[in-house]
Structure formats: structure tokens, C-alpha cells
Amino acid sequence: MNNRFKTFVGVAILLTAVAACGQISQQVQATVPFSFMAGEKRSPAGDCRVEIDRDRGVITLSSDTSKIFMLTTSSYQPGDNRSYLRFNRYGDQWFLQAVSFAGTAEIAPVSKHERELKMANKSSGGRLIADIAVH
């Protein structure tokens, strides 16, 4: 009986470690002074919590009134260990481009609406980029 109990405890510890391993993520916060599009969804201005799950290629943006999940692609940025949210602006509309954390950027997908605005603004000088520091 004692050996069975030890085996059970050992298996339980192993399963807990495996489950925890798949849940490693980073969390950052930023105060964004403008509303913005993240993929096809709008996020309000204000405090934004960002959870980065590199294993699954997903970022989660949370505010008091919304929660947005986005599939991303990773891009290593050698020598740039800053952490920030990067936005593109076309006219008066802002779009999340990337979430950078400690040298790796998670690149957000470009929505159809952003592509259209990008094409329309080529003749007027293009886009403006803004980086918002995270903490």
C-alpha cells in the first residue's frame, strides 16, 4: 500500500508539472491613450493588460470592458530588449501591430480594414507608428 501511495504521489506531481509547463506566459500592462483595433475588434482607450503565450502564438488583450484573443507570429529582435505595444495609425484610426517583450515581438495579423486604409493613405504620406511602453 505504501508503494502504491508513493507511485500515485509521483504521478500526480509529474502531471502537475506537465500541465504547468504548457501554461507559461508573460503578462504586461500599458495605458493606451487612444482606442485601437486589434485584428477585427476594437479596444477602448485606457489600461490594457496583455498576456503573451508564445507556446501557442496567442496574445490576450484585456480591459475593463473587453477581452480580445489574437493569433500572432513571433519575431526575434536581437539587441532590442525593450517591452512595448506598437501601433500603426492611418488617418485617425489606430491598429495594434505588435507586442514586444524582452527582445521578442509578437506580430498581430493585419485586418482587411487596415489593409484598405494602408492602400488609401499611400499617396498622403502613409502611416504613423507609436510605441507605448509596458510595465
Span 69-75, average pLDDT: 92
pLDDT for residue 24:
59
Give the range among 21-25, 81-85, 97-101 with minimum mean pLDDT. 21-25
Cell of 58: 496567442
- Closest to 25 measured CA to CA, from 69, 63, 68, 55: 55
Each residue of 88-119: pLDDT tens digit?
A: 998 889 999 999 988 889 999 999 999 988 88
pLDDT for residue 13 is more than 50: no
Long-range contacts from 120-124, C-beta under 8 angstroms, 24+ separation: 120/90, 121/90, 121/91
Predicted pLDDT at 81: 84
Is 54 a residue whose pLDDT tops 70?
Answer: yes
9 belongs to a structural domain: no
Phi, psi of 42 (to 5 degrees): -95, 135
Residues 6 or more apart from 89 whose CB is under 8 A from it?
95, 127, 128, 129, 130
**Span 114-134, average pLDDT:** 81
pLDDT-derived band at 10 (thresholds 50, 70, 90) equals very low
Q: How many domains does the chain have?
A: 1
Looking at residue 6, its pLDDT comes to 44
Does residue 10 belong to any structural domain of this protein?
Answer: no
Residue 20 lies in a domain: no
- β-bridge mates for residue 47, sequence order: 31
Residue 61 confidence (pLDDT): 95
Q: Does the residue 67 lie in any domain?
A: yes
Q: Higher pLDDT residue, 4 or 120? A: 120
In a domain, residue 7? The reply is no
Share of the chain above pLDDT 70, in %: 79
In a domain, 43, yes or no: yes
Q: Is residue 59 part of a domain?
A: yes
CA distance 95 to 107: 12
Global confidence as pTM: 0.76
Is residue 5 in some structural domain?
A: no
Residue 95's domain spans which residues? Answer: 25-133
